[in-house]
Structure 1
Amino acid sequence: MTLAFVAHRTINVEVIHSVSPAVPKDATALVEEYAKREGWHLTMVESGEFQDENYLSNPVNRCFFCKENLYDRIGGTTKLRIASGANLDDLGDYRPGLLAAERMQVVHPLVEAKIDKAAVRDIARENKLLDLADLPAQPCLSSRIETGIAIDADDLAFVHQIEADTRELIGAGIPVRCRITHQGVVLELGALANAEKVRVANAYAQATTSDSGRRWAGSRAYRRGSAFLHKVPQSLSD
């Protein structure tokens, strides 16, 4: 979002936003709000990963298949060079999507400029984009599903509901993650959640999980950067 804002004010760009069950509707609404306010040339595309069995099976390199589908769809809408919002910090994580980007010759302006997440927030703040500067990390909803459990749109909607409702109950400033694991549904809360907020959040999540027919597996502390990985593939064919 910050890259799109700066790029639009600097050069002639098209902004393309992916729509899928893995993208929360409030994220799409924010993109549409900015596009209307800033006069972006905005195109919405169905990213197509939910028609890809490689993605739906949720392997360790699921993100590769997601980005492969996404960049292929974007390439079908424009002849311009595709640029992503990946930043310098992303290079320190296991990011199979970056391999798909390399195959599709996608460029990463923030990486090239050696801009990390903190600097992105500073740029947003300097441009008075406070809703972006303070926006919590928003990895796709499929990242909440443990590796090996098939990706299902109903599960993603359930996860989003739990997270959104929990933030309403305990405050937006506390990290919240709802994860579907092989043991059942797990709620993760950030360290700022006191005992009473933890109790309220757990009671809600447990009741909602039970009502949905899913198994409740309890809660734990939120740990940034945790991922459901069993092994790192040595090549894209693994």
Structure 2
Amino acid sequence: MSDPQAMPAVMRLARVLDRFPALAVAVSGGVDSLTLASFAHSHGVRLRVIHAVSPAVPAEPTARVRQLAAAQGWDLTVTGTGEFDDPRYRDNPVDRCYFCKTNLYDRIAGLTEWPIASGANLDDLGDYRPGLIAAAERRVVHPLIEADMTKADVRALARTLGLGAVAELPAQPCLASRVETGIAIAAGDLAFVEVAERRLSALIGGGTLRCRITHQGVAVELGEEAMEQAGAVDALMAGLCGEAGRVYAGSRAYRRGAMFVGGERIGA
């Protein structure tokens, strides 16, 4: 019998999906979940795609999900998650993602009896991901992890599937990940972050950037490729913060998990 690990990633994923004649895929709008849904659909899995919207989800990923669903003919459900009704989430502890995913998967379970699948990949296991604990408690399956697929594998599959720009999407955690631990999650802060990051992206031409809500004020983190534009970034952000009555704490180099004060850090 052949060794599954010796198979190409796409063949391993196909073998995993063969166990599921029907699957409800939680799609965030990022490359991982979109690629999983696209491949499952092309593989003949009876598919229900569920996308959750909330103040923590930018408009762009939702538009992307709707566009791909229409192009491929997915059975798409867009639903709210209700995490903002959960004070444990709004308090923004280090394990905030646990409460977010608890609300998400409970909402999806109320919409379908099919197994629920996430787009987590093998690289996600190297970060502190309390959301994976919520998933395990609810028996959510992770086909990309079962197929030993890394982020690079997922991007390669997305290109093979002809998903275009989706294959090159940068990591884009939810907007709540921009808020420093211990600062309550507020819809107004997240709306400010979304607008600021959209303006910043247009200014610097894309790349890695984060608008952070910190205890010292609003800060911007830039990838190495954008640091030479820090002066223009500071000018833009000083204006935005002034208009919004916020303190601007300046720009700095991007650092993963920078919003976690104490405890462990995750990639955000």
Q: Which one is further off, 58-67 or 2-11?
A: 2-11
Aligned residue number for residue 201 of structure 1: 233
Match of 1:5, as an amino acid? S
Partner of 2:80: 46
Aligned counterpart, 1:7: 40
Paired position in structure 2 for 1:228: 260
Q: 1:8 corresponds to which letter in structure 2?
A: H
CA distance in 2, matches of 1:98, 1:141: 18
Aligned partner (choices 52, 58, 71) of residue 37 of structure 1: 71
- The structural deviation recorded for 1:206 is 1.4
Letter of the aligned partner of 1:213 in structure 2? G
**Which residue number in structure 1 is paired with residue 209 of structure 2?**
176
- What is the TM-score of this pair, normalised by structure 1? 0.94
**Counterpart of 2:224 in 1: which secondary structure?**
coil
User: C-alpha offsets along residues 79-115 of structure 1, whole Å, 9 cap, x if unaligned?
Assistant: 1000000000111100000000001100000000000
Q: Which TM-score applies when normalising by structure 2?
A: 0.84
Asked if 1:154 is matched to 2:188, the reply is yes
CA RMSD of aligned residues (A): 1.3
- Other-structure match for 2:107: 73
1:132-160 deviations in Å (ceiling 9; x for gaps): 11111110000000000000001001001
1:35-87 residue CA offsets vs partner (Å, 9 max, x unmatched) = 00000000011011000000000001000000000000000000100000000
Asked whether the equivalents of residues 50 and 78 of structure 2 are also in contact (C-alpha less than 8 Å), the reply is: yes
Which one of 138, 153, 156 corresponds to residue 119 of structure 1?
153
Residue 223 of structure 1: CA displacement?
2.3
Deviation at 1:226, TM superposition (A): 3.8
Partners of 2:67 and 2:35 in 1: CA distance: 14
Equivalent-residue separation in structure 1 for 2:227 and 2:97 (angstroms): 34
Partner Cα separation in structure 1 for residue 175 and residue 99 of structure 2: 15
Secondary structure (helix, strand or coil) at the match of 1:16 reads: strand
Moved over 6 A (4+): none
Q: What's the offset of the Cα at 1:227?
A: 4.2
* Corresponding residue SS for 1:148: coil
Which deviations, in whole Å up to 9, do the C-alpha atoms of 1:154-202 show, x marking residues without a partner? 1001001111111111102x2110000001100111111253x221111
Q: Which SS does the other structure have where 1:214 is aligned?
A: coil
Paired with 2:139 and 2:208, the residues of 1 have a C-alpha distance of 34
Whole-Å Cα distance in 2 between the matches of residues 193 and 85 of structure 1?
A: 29
